[in-house]
Homo-oligomer: A and B are copies of this chain.
Amino acid sequence: MADAPVVRPTPISGFPEWLPDVRMVELRWLDTIRATFERYGFCSVETPSVEALDALMAKGETSQEVYTLRRLQAEDDGDSSRLGLHFDLTVPFARYVAAHFNDLVFPFKRYQIQRVWRGERPQEGRFREFTQCDIDVINIDQVPLHFDAELPRIVHEVLTTLGVPAWTLNINNRKVLQGFYEGLGIGDPLAVIRAADKIDKIGSAGVEALLTGPVGLTADQARACLDLAHVRGSDSGVVEAVGRLGAKSDLLTEGLDELARVLDDLADLPPGSVVADLSIARGLDYYTGTVYEAKFVDAPGYGSICSGGRYDDLAGTFIRRHLPGVGISIGLTRIFAKLVADGLVGGGPASPAQVLVVIPSDERRADALATARQLRARGLNVETYHQADKLAKQIRYASRKGIGHVWFPPFGDDRPHEVKNMATGEQNPADPAVWSPAS
């Protein structure tokens, strides 16, 4: 018996971890995401978990709760204390591109699947450590608009393959918002965007009060802004609907043209999966064209599960090159944790093994090991139960781990190899040179 424990193994709030059956599903998700990103030619990049604090803070993102590092035993910790855990994958990507600019081929298309950290108060859907899956296309001076459509297509393929419950990817274009407000003769479009962005929280009446109050619009202007925020649709009907609202400006025309072209590129996707929503703003100071935001249809209040958009300048903080791009991020942990909480994930196998080779007696150990080796050489995942315990105990072990087949090594010349299918209970002779789990 071990000594009395000295530390309680309490989980830390906001830092999720999964049991093996759930982790097996998460691994499949990660495989699917990576395979889809690679099928579109994106390459993998990983950056360190930390960045210099001045790099993390360069854009003045003080709204993010950054974790800084400190060496436990350091007396003068001048060095480590200037390091912080990254709070997203955009800042590290920008620093990476600047650091390796001359070694990269442009247009540069990368995916990055990593944990990020935020010292926030944990709540539903908000974690302090979570995994983001980002793709971005950047180029020197310009990136074709077709990528603005390719990214939602990739996300659609990922979420559909994963079987994520009903979701909508909303698209907008920042030029439409800004151009529309300018067309109404509004002097401070950003103030309107900021107010309109609260429509989910305070409702139309609340936004209208903000617009006619602090923002200083006329009643007609405020009404037109609210009308814009209510425009939704999947095709060029959206452009016509906005046109009927009366505002006119070159920027609005340009934005509507971009939005229509992106929707047109995506016209083959199932209805409702990608929808133009003229109320979406996102990232006030960063995005300059297309913006994305995905939510669960049945739980819009759970928050954004994917987001991104087009930006003019990825890495100006770090390098004197003009690098526009477009990117989107899938909030893996946020999506996955919801499905776990809703009981939609888990309960499957807790082991990757397809076969458990039992050891009926020590005399048959050599045969058992040889069988396992033969099956593994054929690419099968095979576990050996290394102890000649009672067979019932070994079989029960396979059952509890969800291992689909139990293999009995041969016994002299009389009894050949046999395999028990744990789902059906059937036990039949089998040849380790050709047997497969599907057979």
Contacts and interface: CB of A to CB of B under 8 A. Distances in A.
Given A3-B316, A11-B99, A69 B69 contact: yes
A319 B5 contact: yes
Contact of A46 (B17, B46, B62, B379): B17
A85 interface: yes
Interface in A64-105: 65-74, 80, 83-85, 95-96, 98-100, 103-105
A18 interface: yes
Nearest to A103: B19
Contacts of A40: 376, 381-383
A55 B318 contact: no
Interface string A196-231: 000000000000000000000000000000000000
B69 A45 contact: no
A313 interface: yes
A23 B108 CA distance: 15
A401 B2 contact: no
Contacts of A2: 313, 315-316, 319-323
B66 A44 contact: no
Interface residues of A, number: 102
Contact of A67 (B70, B117, B386): B70
B49 A115 contact: yes
A405 interface: no
Contacts of A11: 99
A99 to B, nearest CB: 4
Contacts of A58: 6-7
A55 B15 CA distance: 15
A73 B146 CA distance: 41
Interface in A296-348: 313, 315-323
Contacts of A379: 39
A12 interface: yes
B16 A104 contact: no
A313 B129 CA distance: 30
A43 interface: yes
Quick one: copies of this chain in the complex? 2
Nearest to A376: B39
A38 B71 contact: no
B49 A350 contact: no
Interface string A391-404: 00000010011010
Kindly name the residue among A100, A315, A386 whose own CB sees the greatest number of chain B CB atoms within 10 A.
A386
Contact of A5 (B16, B98, B109, B356): B98
Given A72-B67, A144-B387, A384-B150, A20 B43 contact: yes
Kindly name the residue among A103, A129, A313, A401 whose own CB sees the greatest number of chain B CB atoms within 10 A.
A401
Contacts of A52: 7, 10, 12
A438 interface: no
A189 interface: no
A249 to B, nearest CB: 26
Nearest to A115: B49
Contacts of A315: 2, 9
A246 interface: no
A9 B351 contact: no
B67 A129 contact: no
B20 A44 contact: yes
Interface string A350-391: 111100100000000000000000001001111110110000
Contact of A129 (B18, B41, B49, B99): B49
Interface of A: 1-12, 15-20, 23-24, 27, 38-55, 58, 62, 65-74, 80, 83-85, 95-96, 98-100, 103-105, 107, 109-110, 115, 117, 119, 129, 144, 146-147, 150, 313, 315-323, 350-353, 356, 376, 379-384, 386-387, 397, 400-401, 403
The 4 closest A-B pairs by CB, nearest first: A41-B383, A2-B316, A41-B353, A15-B48
6 contacts: A12-B48, A39-B380, A48-B129, A67-B80, A105-B350, A146-B384
